[in-house]
Amino acid sequence: MDARAMVARARTVAPRARRVGVDARAAEGVNMRRCGATRARASRADADAAVEAFLNTLKYDDGGLVAAIAQDVDTGAILMQGYANRDAVAYTLKHRKATFWSRSRSQLWCKGETSGNYIAIDSVHVDCDKDSLIYLGVPTGPTCHTGAHTCYYKRVDGPDGAATKASGGRHAAEEALTTLYELEATIEARRVEAKKEGVKPSWTRRLLDDPELLCKKIREEAGELCQTWEENEGKEAAANEMADVLYHSMVMLNKQGVSMTDVLGVLRKRFGTSGVDEKASRPPKKLINVSK
């Protein structure tokens, strides 16, 4: 079985297992035992040859390097960007930990070998020019040496094209937040903002201050999302109602101190199990009256 077929098989047999190296290897292991140890050794040799062939296709610069960008598999946050030589890419593929070539120290650098904050590799992707890689993975702690989640914690532009200067203090607010996390940050900002005399509170703040209203809205919006199908209201209505469901549900998460990262972690961990099996494995739930 060549490397490509192995990947195709892993996707077919256990499409969600590939997210977690151990599970994927376990799934593959079943196949390995069937084929016998000789076949397994042959597969390993094929895989090694495929890695070598891939490493030969990369377009290294004069210093023998390609760019390597580490990205959080749950949130999509870009964690850091460094450079990788042939050995660093090979090490990353083999050991499933994001590894770079340190230009300042002129040595291989498996991120986390000192701090313990590794980036466990989920998958690796190459760009069309073959001179840049994405290391998609799960960080086991803060990526930045400053203790920040990501090294990109400073925003350097303003709405009028002005640049901000380097500073501490507001790191989170200056991260490259994508829409979902910008919404999450906005909800949090509404939670902590001071009430002002004579100024009507924001809708978010009203929901946070009145959880019964919030629950009523969440149930309503879920119903309205269903209604877009039941009443054939069209795609635009469905996107709008889903936006409502997401927003109101995220206010509920904020109310309970839960982040979208927590939720995505739950979804990722479920990937290895089919929904039917996963549901069957859970303890029975109390019956809920959704009309209340």
Rounded CA gap, 53 and 27, in Å? 25
Rounded CA gap, 104 and 288, in Å? 59
Q: Calculate the alpha carbon distances from 185 to 128, 175, 181, 260 in Å.
A: 34, 11, 6, 11
Q: Which class for 185: exposed (0-12), middle (13-18), buried (19 or more C-beta within 10 A)?
A: middle
In sequence order, which residues have a C-beta less than 8 Å from that of residue 24 and are 6 or more positions away?
10, 14, 17, 18
Smallest distance from a copy of itself to CB 103, Å: 9
Decide whether 36 or 211 has the Cβ nearer to a copy of itself: 211
Decide whether 140 or 202 has the Cβ nearer to a copy of itself: 202
Decide whether 37 or 288 has the Cβ nearer to a copy of itself: 288
Smallest distance from a copy of itself to CB 273, Å: 10
Smallest distance from a copy of itself to CB 42, Å: 13
Strand 107-110 relative to strand 99-102, pairing: antiparallel
Smallest distance from a copy of itself to CB 247, Å: 7
Query: What is the DSSP code string of 221-254?
Result: HHHHHHHHHHTT--HHHHHHHHHHHHHHHHHHHH
Residue pair 12/31 in contact (Cβ under 8 Å)? The answer is no
Residue pair 133/126 in contact (Cβ under 8 Å)? The answer is yes
Smallest distance from a copy of itself to CB 197, Å: 18
What's the Rg (C-alpha) of the chain? 24
Decide whether 16 or 39 has the Cβ nearer to a copy of itself: 16
Residue pair 136/125 in contact (Cβ under 8 Å)? The answer is yes
Query: What is the DSSP code string of 116-132?
Result: S--EEEEEEEE-TTSSE
Q: Which two tokens stand for residue 75?
A: 């949130």
Smallest distance from a copy of itself to CB 115, Å: 14
Decide whether 209 or 262 has the Cβ nearer to a copy of itself: 262
The length of the chain in residues reads 292
